[in-house]
Amino acid sequence: MNKVVANAEEAIRDIKDGMTLMLGGFGLCGLPENCIAALVKSGVNNLTCISNNAGVDDFGIGLMLKKRQVKKMISSYVGENAEFERQLLSGELDVELIPQGTLATRCMAAGYGMPAIFTPAGIGTEVAIGKEVRNFNGKDYLMELAFDADFAIVKAWKGDTMGNLIYRSTARNFNPVMAMAGKITIAEVEELVQPGELDPDQIHTPGIYVHRIFKGVAYEKRIEQRTVRSKEPKA
């Protein structure tokens, strides 16, 4: 199988209206920036997006929200996006907020082929409304279903043409568990090399999980919140 595609536009070519997408990243770190830009350009809409957060107003998934391409967000944190807040409060956007660990584990369950998980997170809160609760050894656990995503779109530091991926530092975040979980996984990488050039002991996502891969361009790698202090005067 030839997994290499020319660019983001080709990688997302068959993403259709109404599909469910997983998008890697945490805050603005480790985002599949090229694929998000291609999705905005394509005009595909009515999407369900599974991501840790919704980006900011003018970057990340925030760009898709601005174009009204997202009908539902499944996230654990959404506090940096004013347009997201506006759409939520106006009823334009359906939102499912879930604990961060539950988000990660539902991704992992999908990758492992498990239909559901049981977690204590959310017991006794609004998160548990309408969901099955079981008791194990005297403790209640909430049943959460594995995600069912048409595509997982991830960003890695390095990859080879077979789809093996290496992430860098905190940019790893949700990308590995999402890469395992999509029916089709698209990976954009900063550096694309030939098989054998990556140290096998450093590979985080084996190529078996990746269906399409391409070398991305012009990564902005924006910092979500920059905090600085003035230079202190010399004594």
Q: Give the per-residue pLDDT at 81.
A: 85
Q: Give the per-residue pLDDT at 233.
A: 67
For residue 109, CA distances in Å to 22, 56, 149, 188, 224 come to: 14, 28, 12, 23, 29
What global pTM score does this model have? 0.91
Smallest Cα–Cα separation from 1: which of 174, 226, 161, 147? 161
Q: Give the per-residue pLDDT at 30.
A: 94
**pLDDT beneath 70, residues of the chain:** 233-235
What is the secondary structure of 74-125 as a DSSP string? EES--TT-HHHHHHHHHTSSEEEE--HHHHHHHHHHHHHT-SEEEESTTTTS
Q: Give the per-residue pLDDT at 138.
A: 97
Identify the CATH assignment for 8-114+148-215 out of 2.40.30.10, 3.90.550.10, 3.40.1080.10, 3.40.50.11540.
3.40.1080.10
> Residue 139, Cβ neighbours under 10 Å: how many?
10
Helix, coil or strand: residue 23: strand
Give the CA count within 13 Å in the CB-facing half-sphere of 187. 37
Domain regions of the chain by residue span: 8-114+148-215
